[in-house]
Chains A and B, each alone.
Chain A
Amino acid sequence: MSTATTRPKRRMRLDSTVIVYIALIVVIIIGAILVNTAGRNFFSLGNIRDILTGMSVLGLVAVGQTLVILTGSLDLSVPYVISLSSLLAAETMRGNPNNIAQGVLLALAFAAIAGLANGLVVTKLKVNGFIATLGVGLIIKGYLDTNYQGSAGSVPAAFQFIGATGLGPVPISTIIMLALATLVFLFLRKTRMGHHIYAVGGSLEVSRLSGLRTARPIIVAHVICSVMAGLAGLLLASRLGVGSPTVGSQGGYDLLSIAAVVLGGTILAGGRGSIWGTIGGVAIFAVLDSVMSAIQFNPFLKDVVRGVVIVAAVAIYTGRGVERRRARFATKEVQR
């Protein structure tokens, strides 16, 4: 009476990042068909650039959000950090090229402080990420509404260069975003802190048992996430030419970045996920937006499509389920 198998065979688990890129290709194919039937060329230079530009800002924010979600937390303060960073940069630069470095540093410094505040409230005051970052976000929003009546400051032409131009179809901003994504990817794979971010998200108990200082990775994740939002703010300042108190909330980057991260296969509970999966999720949104604009889709229906796509995609991942115990017998009929 032999048991099922002597050596457990390794079932090829389709990695969720692979699924995201399959989904992206499917969306591109469908998009191309739709766009071409509407008389436009999906693969034209302008369209590619429009898609890639659409990815750059959301990409920066989503990469930062991935880190935070990997630790099992969440960051709802990103829109206000984006706006604050764009204002601080534009005002410090005041159109003067040699103020650029100073403007960038000031913006990123305050973004880092906001991230630190998020991290400390989550780890030390033991406040759930949702409420902690919602609170910090509101604090920054109050500051923005009170001190800024409209766009402020101005960005010198040299800095606008980043936002406006590109190498062929690929805008500089997208190159910067992908470079930073690679940096964060390497941070996650190549540094102890990166490994510990996964560990803390996977299980706080096991991490403590292995002697990790569990608060540190969460704080670092929140700081990097806010700094990435700060960078997104700088990119927007360079594209807009001015700082704006509403540019962050205009893009709805808080909920959209979380949706892109989850679409990319990262699970909300933390512990599993990948930067490149998130980039795939961001690309799917960018292609969707570009296609819907190209076929002059009614703007109200755009949100309907986005809502349905988010839920459907996540249902596909979780639908694959997790095998609980290794079955010993065929579940159905077994020959006596």
Chain B
Amino acid sequence: MSTPDVSTPGATPILEARDVSKSFFGIEVLHGVSLHLQPGSVHGLVGENGAGKSTLMKIFAGVHQRDAGTVLFDGEEVDFGHPIKAMQAGLATVFQEFTLLPERTVAENVFLGREPRKAGFVDNRGMSAKTGALLAELGIDFIDPNARVASLSVAEQQIVEITKALSFDARVISMDEPTAALADHEVELLHGIIERLKARGVAILYVSHRLKEVFDLCDTVTVLKDGALVWSGPTTELTPDSMVRMMVGRSITSFFPGALEGTTVGETRLTVTDGGNGYVDGIDLDLRAGEIVGVAGLQGAGRTELAEAIFGAVPFTRGTMTIDGEPLVVRSTRKAVRSGLALITEDRKAQGLALHQSVLDNTLLVIRGVFASRTRTVRREVPGILSSLEISFRGLDQEVQFLSGGNQQKVVLTKWLATKPRVVILDEPTRGIDVGAKVAVYQLMRELAKDGVAILMVSSELPEVIGMSDRILVMHDGRITAELEPGSSEETILSAATGTIGGALEEVA
């Protein structure tokens, strides 16, 4: 096995993919993608949601197996059947959902399964010393190797994941949306760490859809769109605009259905004045009937917290709300549902569905839980709603866990449509679902708007925000920092979201 010459770029790449393809449920998600990663360099992998970046990364990590093409690691063809095999080979991955044991210490997590031993016994002191050393290598001195992971912040937990990768003396570390849940200062911290890793000859695969970071950090970049390779090469040859155009490519309008005729923006349905709690502050918001308001912002900007505050999951502790002009005090999700609100949650498996129950039972969860008397009538309407969303399933009694992501989302939507809500809040409505299902969601939103429902859509997909919103709010650090025109470009939204360049309408009073 040839030992790669670390110092000179252009030597044999440490990691190379050639014409890799993968499909799920018959839908091809990656077709013929190739890329190569030089040791001691940061390679960006960008593309908007659904472009296939995470799938490619998961193939490298041994989570999924590729359908076609070859993967070369350190010059040799590999096919990792399990993440641990990839880790042991030196290809480590930091997933977005951390794989840590909250109740164990940092050191115990980093060396889980490979606890260092002295004379047959686990050398606890040695283990935390090694962890300390690894942290020091990353320039971290404020994380105690013996602290319980549960007591750490999200950023700190991410550093532990990176340290765990490093402990495999990984020569490639791939990171999936690492800055998603980080505040600004924490992002800079991560970049410092990446620089240090680069200096040590470690190759970094940096998966993100945040252009600013890609340009700051990555030496080379690969742009994917709809599962295909668009461009791959040094970042210096690209500008943010050219990259966005490559990422977005097709015209936005054709993909996102426009407002149906007869949709009129009517009376104000929901207002929030000076709303706030532990996570969001100074929220002034009004949603009008028939209007789709998009909420953009980086991960951790507080968009989900805003949705959960309005819906009463994590209620406002100050400020006032009104619905259709009447004062509204929402202290629980039950009160919100009774007042005609609906929340399609971010994580449908954990918060939206009861996976072991049937499709029918899932669609009736809210009705049975809150409006029990309507169960009989709504039960007859459910098949109609489901077919209007063109759901594909074996029957009303099929367990929801056997449905694809898209169909599962349609069940969640049906669950809430059955309550005939006046205000619908959607949190990342199209994350992780196939393109066909996305279109169905957008059409539904348009129909709801036409029926006078006020819609608030939180989304990390800028094209979706631009394509669907009548008005765009941008959040940063728990506050609404800007309100933009519907046609705004991704750059304006991004810059408002990162709080660097003032948004078009500056600070919202």
* Whether chain A touches chain B in the assembled complex (some CB pair under 8 Å): yes
Q: Which residues of A contact B (CB under 8 A)?
A: 1, 3, 6-8, 10-11, 13, 189-192, 194-196, 198-199, 202-203, 205-207, 209-212, 271-272, 322, 325-334, 336
**Does A336 contact B282, Cβ atoms closer than 8 Å?**
yes
**Does B156 contact A8, Cβ atoms closer than 8 Å?**
yes
Within the assembled complex, what's the spacing in Å between the Cα atoms of A211 and B89? 13
> A329 and B83 in contact (CB under 8 A), knowing A192-B115, A198-B103?
no
**Binary CB contact string for chain B from 93 to 107 against chain A (1 if under 8 A, 0 otherwise):** 000000111111000
**Does A192 contact B282, Cβ atoms closer than 8 Å?**
no
| Neighbouring A residues of B112 by C-beta, 8 Å | 195, 199, 206-207, 210, 212
Interface size on B, residues (CB 8 A): 46
Task: Across the A-B interface, give the 10 residue pairs with the lowest CB-CB distance, nearest first.
Answer: A211-B84, A327-B278, A202-B101, A272-B103, A210-B113, A190-B121, A331-B278, A210-B112, A8-B153, A329-B281
Say if the beta carbon of B117 comes within 8 Å of chain A. Answer: yes
| Neighbouring A residues of B279 by C-beta, 8 Å | 325, 327-329
- Closest Cβ of chain A to B39, distance in Å, is 25
**Does B478 contact A190, Cβ atoms closer than 8 Å?**
no
**Does A326 contact B104, Cβ atoms closer than 8 Å?**
no
Among A1, A8, A10, A211, which residue has its beta carbon within 8 angstroms of that of B477? A1
Complex A-B: 6 CB contacts under 8 Å: A8-B153, A11-B151, A202-B103, A210-B84, A332-B317, A336-B282
| Neighbouring A residues of B115 by C-beta, 8 Å | 192, 195
Within the assembled complex, what's the spacing in Å between the Cα atoms of A202 and B88? 23
| Neighbouring A residues of B147 by C-beta, 8 Å | 10
**Does B124 contact A331, Cβ atoms closer than 8 Å?**
no
The chain B residue sitting closest to A333, CB to CB, is: B318
**Does B478 contact A328, Cβ atoms closer than 8 Å?**
yes
- Closest Cβ of chain A to B168, distance in Å, is 11
Q: Which residues of B contact A (CB under 8 A)?
A: 82-84, 87-88, 99-104, 108, 112-113, 115, 117, 121-122, 124, 142, 144, 147-148, 150-154, 156, 183-185, 276-282, 302, 305, 317-318, 477-479
User: Which of B99, B112, B144 is most buried by chain A, counting CB atoms within 10 A of its CB?
Assistant: B112
**Does B99 contact A210, Cβ atoms closer than 8 Å?**
yes
| Neighbouring B residues of A11 by C-beta, 8 Å | 151
| Neighbouring A residues of B281 by C-beta, 8 Å | 328-329, 334
Among B88, B122, B154, which residue has its beta carbon within 8 angstroms of that of A192? B122
**Does A6 contact B185, Cβ atoms closer than 8 Å?**
yes
Within the assembled complex, what's the spacing in Å between the Cα atoms of A325 and B318? 19
**Does B277 contact A329, Cβ atoms closer than 8 Å?**
yes
The chain B residue sitting closest to A267, CB to CB, is: B103
> A198 and B318 in contact (CB under 8 A), knowing A3-B183, A191-B122, A329-B277?
no
**Does A198 contact B104, Cβ atoms closer than 8 Å?**
yes
Within the assembled complex, what's the spacing in Å between the Cα atoms of A10 and B153? 10
- Closest Cβ of chain B to A259, distance in Å, is 21
Within the assembled complex, what's the spacing in Å between the Cα atoms of A15 and B418? 47
| Neighbouring A residues of B477 by C-beta, 8 Å | 1, 3, 328
**Does A334 contact B276, Cβ atoms closer than 8 Å?**
yes
| Neighbouring B residues of A196 by C-beta, 8 Å | 113
| Neighbouring B residues of A10 by C-beta, 8 Å | 144, 147, 151
| Neighbouring A residues of B102 by C-beta, 8 Å | 202
| Neighbouring B residues of A336 by C-beta, 8 Å | 282
| Neighbouring A residues of B154 by C-beta, 8 Å | 326
Within the assembled complex, what's the spacing in Å between the Cα atoms of A328 and B101? 24
> A206 and B100 in contact (CB under 8 A), knowing A212-B113, A329-B478?
yes
**Does A271 contact B156, Cβ atoms closer than 8 Å?**
no
The chain B residue sitting closest to A202, CB to CB, is: B101
**Does A209 contact B104, Cβ atoms closer than 8 Å?**
no
Within the assembled complex, what's the spacing in Å between the Cα atoms of A171 and B112? 40
The chain B residue sitting closest to A326, CB to CB, is: B153
> A332 and B183 in contact (CB under 8 A), knowing A192-B122, A194-B122, A202-B103?
no
**Does B185 contact A195, Cβ atoms closer than 8 Å?**
no
| Neighbouring A residues of B150 by C-beta, 8 Å | 322
| Neighbouring A residues of B184 by C-beta, 8 Å | 3
**Does B276 contact A329, Cβ atoms closer than 8 Å?**
yes
Among B100, B122, B479, which residue has its beta carbon within 8 angstroms of that of A189? B122
**Does A192 contact B103, Cβ atoms closer than 8 Å?**
no
- Closest Cβ of chain A to B144, distance in Å, is 8
**Does A211 contact B113, Cβ atoms closer than 8 Å?**
yes
> A211 and B82 in contact (CB under 8 A), knowing A202-B103, A206-B101?
yes
| Neighbouring B residues of A194 by C-beta, 8 Å | 122
Within the assembled complex, what's the spacing in Å between the Cα atoms of A65 and B150? 25
| Neighbouring A residues of B87 by C-beta, 8 Å | 211
**Does A7 contact B278, Cβ atoms closer than 8 Å?**
no
**Does A331 contact B317, Cβ atoms closer than 8 Å?**
yes
- Closest Cβ of chain A to B356, distance in Å, is 16
The chain A residue sitting closest to B282, CB to CB, is: A336
Within the assembled complex, what's the spacing in Å between the Cα atoms of A330 and B185? 20
| Neighbouring B residues of A206 by C-beta, 8 Å | 99-101, 112
- Closest Cβ of chain B to A333, distance in Å, is 6
Within the assembled complex, what's the spacing in Å between the Cα atoms of A62 and B395? 50
Among A202, A209, A330, which residue has its beta carbon within 8 angstroms of that of B83? A209
Within the assembled complex, what's the spacing in Å between the Cα atoms of A211 and B114? 9
Within the assembled complex, what's the spacing in Å between the Cα atoms of A10 and B152? 8
Within the assembled complex, what's the spacing in Å between the Cα atoms of A330 and B318? 11
**Does B104 contact A202, Cβ atoms closer than 8 Å?**
yes
- Closest Cβ of chain A to B187, distance in Å, is 12
Within the assembled complex, what's the spacing in Å between the Cα atoms of A210 and B111? 9
- Closest Cβ of chain A to B165, distance in Å, is 12
Within the assembled complex, what's the spacing in Å between the Cα atoms of A334 and B283? 13
The chain B residue sitting closest to A211, CB to CB, is: B84
Within the assembled complex, what's the spacing in Å between the Cα atoms of A210 and B84? 6
Within the assembled complex, what's the spacing in Å between the Cα atoms of A207 and B477? 34
- Starting from the known contacts A10-B151, A328-B302, A329-B281, 20 additional A-B residue pairs (CB-CB under 8 Å) come to A1-B479, A3-B184, A8-B152, A8-B153, A11-B151, A189-B122, A195-B108, A198-B103, A198-B108, A199-B104, A203-B101, A209-B83, A209-B84, A210-B99, A211-B88, A271-B103, A325-B279, A331-B278, A332-B318, A334-B276
**Does A189 contact B84, Cβ atoms closer than 8 Å?**
no
